[in-house]
């Protein structure tokens, strides 16, 4: 009798799991896409920064963070090449 209930329980769980609609998958953008499309970059930075606890490990949040960091470093490099330096001469 216990085995019958267990079997029914397992079958019911499998049925319920199978009924869920899969979440619509979001297109994963590359770091290069974020670096070249400022609107896309801003959209995802806002989205990811509003809920980092839940979205931190999402591919787009990882990629947009990396793109933003790279853009900052590239900007600093350009500033330093132009003769600007934080160190006194």
Query: Whose CA is closest to 57, among 17, 28, 24, 36?
Result: 28
Q: CB of 87 within 8 A of CB of 58?
A: no
What pLDDT shows up at residue 62?
Answer: 97
Identify the band that residue 78 occupies on the pLDDT scale cut at 50, 70 and 90.
confident
Q: What is the pLDDT of residue 83?
A: 63
The Cα–Cα gap between 52 and 61 comes to 9
pLDDT tens track for 26-59: 899 999 999 999 999 999 999 999 999 999 999 9
48 φ, ψ to 5°? -70, -35
Sign of CA dihedral 52, 53, 54, 59: positive
């Amino acid at each position: 009798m216990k085995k019958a209930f267990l079997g029914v329980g397992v079958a019911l769980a499998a049925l319920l799991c199978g009924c869920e609609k899969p979440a619509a998958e979001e297109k994963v953008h590359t770091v290069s896409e974020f670096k070249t499309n400022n609107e896309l970059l801003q959209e995802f930075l806002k989205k990811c920064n509003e809920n980092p606890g839940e979205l931190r490990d999402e591919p787009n949040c990882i990629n947009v963070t990396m793109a933003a960091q790279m853009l900052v470093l590239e900007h600093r490099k350009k500033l330093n090449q132009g003769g600007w330096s934080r160190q006194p001469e």
